[in-house]
Amino acid sequence: MEIVAPEGLRVAVEAALRAAGVESGHIAVELVDEQRIRELNRDHRGVDAPTDVLAFPVDGAGPTPGPRELGDVAICPEHCADVTEAAVHGVLHLCGYDHETDQGEMLSTQEEIMKGLLRPPGMPGREAEDMPADEEVR
């Protein structure tokens, strides 16, 4: 698996790929500013407003002639409560999950992944001290 992502998000990206059963391919995750996420949202979704995360799949679910090109995830930290969770969310979308149509499967999977992760240093989101005392830290 080839992963291009900020170092602090690689573990989350790998965890989401494992949970989705994806073992090979290429994925890129990028942190962008508010202006760039707004441009992407406007150009690709017709929504002229910033958002937290966008996913741009390349290869569909069918067979590919070479390594699978999963696609790109753009994350705007200024619009995220948790950058790590945004990365997991975007990666799951690239793996074929869709929380708008799957009766809760994607968000349930996302929640399970997040239970095993802490946010990377310097990124907005969960800190070790934010974790409930009975929640296992891996």
CATH code for the domain in which residue 46 is found: 3.40.390.30
Q: Domain tally for the chain?
A: 1
Q: Is the pLDDT of residue 123 over 80?
A: no
Q: How far apart are CA 57 and CA 99, in angstroms?
A: 15
What is the arithmetic mean of pLDDT over 101-130? Answer: 74
In a domain, 99, yes or no: yes
What is the extent of the structural domain holding 86? Answer: 2-130
In a domain, 66, yes or no: yes
Provide the residue type at 29 as one letter: V
Q: Which residue has tokens 């992502």?
A: 5
What token pair was written down for 108?
Answer: 């349930």
Q: What is the pLDDT of residues 33-62, one digit of tens each?
A: 999 999 999 999 999 999 999 999 998 666
* Residue 120, pLDDT score: 53
In a domain, 135, yes or no: no
* Residue 68, pLDDT score: 80
Count the residues in the chain: 138
In a domain, 138, yes or no: no
Q: What is the pLDDT of residues 91-114, one digit of tens each?
A: 999 999 988 888 889 999 999 999
In a domain, 123, yes or no: yes
Asked if residue 98 lies in contact with residue 106, where contact means CB atoms within 8 angstroms, the answer is: yes
